[in-house]
Amino acid sequence: MKNKAIQAFILSIILGAIIILPNTIINKGIFTLSADYNYQQIPFNEIMNHSLKEGSFLWTWYNELGSNFIGTYSFYNLLSPFSIIGYLFKSTYYPYVSGLLTILKFGISGLTSYLFLKRYVKNKNNAIIGSLLYTFSGFQLSNILFHFYDSVCLFPLVLYTLDNLIYDNKKHIFPLTLALLSITNWFMFIGQCVFICIYTLIKIITKEWKLKNLKTIIPEFILGILISSFILIPSLLFTSSNPRINNTWTIINMVKHLNMNRYFEIMRSFFFPSETMAPRAFLTPQNYDSVEFYLPVIGSILIISGIIKNKKSWEKVLMITLIVIMLIPILNSSFFMFTQKYYARWFYMATLIGSLISIKELENIDKKTIKIGTIISLSSLILSILYYIIISKKHPTEQFIFDKQYIILTIVFMIINVIITNLFVKRKKHILIAIIIFISIWGNYTVYKYSETGFKQNKKYKEYLTTKIDIDQVRTNSINCGPNLSAIIKKPNIKTFNTNINGSNFEFYKSIDYERAVSTTIEKESPLNSFLSVEYIIDCETNKLEKINSKKMGIVYDQYIDLEEYNKLEKNEKIKTLLKKIPLNKTQIKEYEPLFKNKPSIKNNTFIYKNNGFEAEVEVTNDSLILYTIPYDKGWKATINKNKTKIENVNGLLAIKLNKGQNKITFKYNPPGLKIGLIITILSLVIEAVNIKNLLNTNKNDKNLKKTNKNLTK
């Protein structure tokens, strides 16, 4: 096969199949991994598919108490090309399609990384090797269970089109690539923009590019961002209210990782085959920070060789810069909107540059520098042993080795790989074969480690996948079930595992002293179920429903409590109080206090979930406030008897004033920022289309001119 790009794609597909298919066959057609893959990727792709087809693409009732659909799921690859392929199938087929999509992701990663790398090597076979180093790096294998893996596969494409823009003057493709990365996962895209800036700056500093190239890059960069405004603007507005975006820094934690283990983890990731997030072999039983890097077989030997050579190159300067960024917390956080929570989920960018340096070294082997790289790699093993001895003596009662077999295999493969690299570094075919063998073994082992718990979790998943819930569309809670059950049964369920929920949810949980990080679990016995209008408890072990006494959706109170007084109550008292009194701030008390003098009550109350909103009919004895345990959001618009009405934010929940008698209530939701985002996107696409048309006309005129000149010459 002459086309090397196709070779890179097919080889990555084959290796992906070798890694994924055994797991899929064992699990009877479903590819299953632990944690996020089973409990987020599969359910979320099902519900995105289902919701888009039923028309619920502005507001979703299948995320906790309800949530902005675009804001929630744009973080979880709503418009990723891989998700879009999944939408071609029935939503319930996704568990069976997900394994094939994962294989495709490996193939696309191999293709995009090859396209980027091929420019920098003379022998394109080396670019194929580099594509395998990136596609099956420790980072990619370890992070296969996360939703952001889609962005990792597509990332090299943006550097490829940027290079084409500067080196080959191929205009107007770079903005489209930026837009693709943005709509795939806007949060990861922010980090990718940071990398593009660093990449460009380093190339200018090292005189690889000229300063005047910025005049070409900046307009296309801005245009690419503007094209994706329809996703970026509503997603950013939605996420800005999430308290997990924590930017409280001190001078010390800006420059130093307070957890010293982090420095060791970074070092380990460069020299040792990757570990799974959980269970892990050494130091901690689990670590979901994504601290992985390792390049198959060669590790960091060739990277070290490339760095210590005297020859100055942009990739060498860039790699050193990236390592420095890894070690300084505030710089590391620049890839994640400067949030203080530590993540290493940008390391894949460094693995791409590490792969580039490695394959360039394959074309210009220096035994001396290879030997130094080997010594440093083996020294990391000695350092690891010393570190273990030190921390064991410092903390004699704590455990630091959690899986002896795992750590032995990691060390054995690390030593074997060092030996193989030294033996075959000049024999490209042999090193390629060694890389393929290692990927096949370690890839399967990684999937197996994830599947140790994955199979057990997936058994539960399949149980509630087939659970028949014969109830109307009412709010439920669940026990003995995995989280995000609502995405499987297509009915509202408040047990969730989701980073992205409406910020007003956190406001409500804070008001009742409930600490919510990434998941919500409310016990069966909690009176909170009644307040939140949970009508049924689902038990996945018995496939049974238990109806409970609860408030109907839409609570009319005849008493209120001053918010300041309410906040002084103990946790249990707060929830009991909510069942009887509505907490109001000073402004709300001033406006609505007269309503409570007449002791209003409900005669009739009906509530219906609708696509992107809800409808209700309520008859009350007197003017009153009604509270809906649905997250407050500026995107809500409400009418009573077709007349617009004011919406109050009561501890993060919705409340409106009712008039005496019959009230026909309609709530409709439109995500803040979506309208302006769509306008900007459309205008930007028009500009891009005009630019491309002008470019094509220019190229056509140039060809005609050359043809004319050629005829005149004859």
Q: Which residues contact 184 (CB under 8 A, 6 or more apart)?
A: 77, 79, 80, 81, 150, 151, 154
- Per-residue pLDDT band at 539 (split at 50, 70, 90): confident
> DSSP string of 338-402?
T-SS---TTHHHHHHHHHHHHHHHHTS--HHHHHHHHHHHHHHHHHHHHHHHHHHHHSTTS--BS
Could you tell me the pLDDT band of residue 244, with boundaries at 50, 70 and 90?
Answer: low
Q: What pLDDT sits at residue 215?
A: 95
Please name each of the domains of the chain with its CATH number.
4-30+74-460 (no CATH), 476-547 (no CATH), 555-669 (2.60.420)
- The Cα 640–Cα 667 span in angstroms is 9
Burial class (CB in 10 A: 0-12, 13-18, 19+), 545: middle
- Lowest pLDDT segment from 289-298, 535-544, 574-583: 535-544
Give the span between the Cα atoms of 613 and 61, in whole angstroms: 9
C-alpha to C-alpha distance for 429 and 432, rounded to whole angstroms: 5
State how far Cα 153 lies from the chain centre: 13
CB atoms within 10 A of CB 229: 23
Q: Is the predicted pLDDT of residue 702 greater than 80, yes or no?
A: no
How far apart CA 618 and CA 665 sit, in angstroms, is 8
Per-residue pLDDT, 378 = 95
Q: What is the pLDDT of residue 700?
A: 67
- Give residue 694's pLDDT: 82
Cα distance between residue 372 and residue 305, in whole Å:
7
| CA–CA gap between residue 664 and residue 673 (Å, rounded) | 28
247-256, 631-640, 700-709 — which one is most confidently predicted on average? 631-640
**Pairing verdict, β 476-479 and 536-539:** parallel
Confidence category of residue 488, pLDDT binned at 50, 70, 90: confident
353 pLDDT band, cuts 50/70/90, is very high
For 144-160, what is each residue's pLDDT tens digit? 999 999 999 999 999 99
| pLDDT score, position 494 | 92
0.85 surpassed by pTM = yes
pLDDT at residue 712 tops 90: no
Residues 392-447 have pLDDT tens digits of 998 888 888 998 999 999 999 999 999 999 888 878 789 999 999 999 999 999 99
Average pLDDT (549-566) is: 92
CB 34 within 8 A of CB 454: yes
Judged against a pLDDT cut of 80, whether residue 24 lies above it is answered with: yes
Q: What is the chain's mean pLDDT, rounded? A: 91
Predicted confidence band at 10 (pLDDT cuts at 50, 70, 90)? very high
Other beta carbons within 10 Å of 701: 10
What angle do the packed helices 149-167 and 174-184 form, to 10 degrees?
170
pLDDT band for position 540 (cuts 50, 70, 90): confident
**pLDDT value at position 463?**
64
Is the model's pLDDT at 714 over the cut of 60?
A: no
Res. 362: pLDDT tops 60: yes
Residue 147's contacts (CB-CB under 8 Å, 6 or more residues apart) are: 36, 40, 41, 44, 75, 76, 77, 185
**What are the pLDDT digits (tens) for 87-128?**
999 998 998 999 999 999 999 999 999 999 999 999 999 999
pLDDT at 1 over 60: no
What digits encode the pLDDT tens for the residues 447-464?
999 986 655 666 666 666
d(CA 383, CA 389): 10
Read off the pLDDT of residues 497-534 as tens digits, 9 standing for 90 and up: 988 888 899 999 999 998 888 889 999 889 999 999 99
Give one DSSP letter per residue of 321-345, joined into a string: HHHHHHHSHHHHGGGGTT-SS---T
DSSP, collapsed to helix, strand or coil, labels residue 557 as coil
pLDDT tens digits, 185-236? 999 999 999 999 999 999 999 999 999 999 999 999 999 999 999 999 999 9
Instruction: Say how many C-beta atoms besides its own lie within 10 A of residue 665's C-beta.
Output: 21
Q: Which residue has the tokens 């016990």?
A: 523
Report the alpha-carbon distance of residue 142 to residue 524 in Å, rounded.
35
CA distances 519 to 496, 522, 523, 580, Å, are 5, 10, 13, 27
Evaluate if residue 351 carries a pLDDT over 70: yes
Q: Work out the pLDDT band at 707, boundaries 50, 70, 90.
A: low
Rounded-to-integer distance, Cα 177 and Cα 157, Å: 7
Average pLDDT over residues 69-85: 94
Return the structure tokens found at 34.
């632990």
Amino acid 202: pLDDT: 97
CA atoms within 13 A on the CB side of 417: 30
Q: DSSP code of 498?
A: -
Q: What is the mean pLDDT of residues 37-64?
A: 93
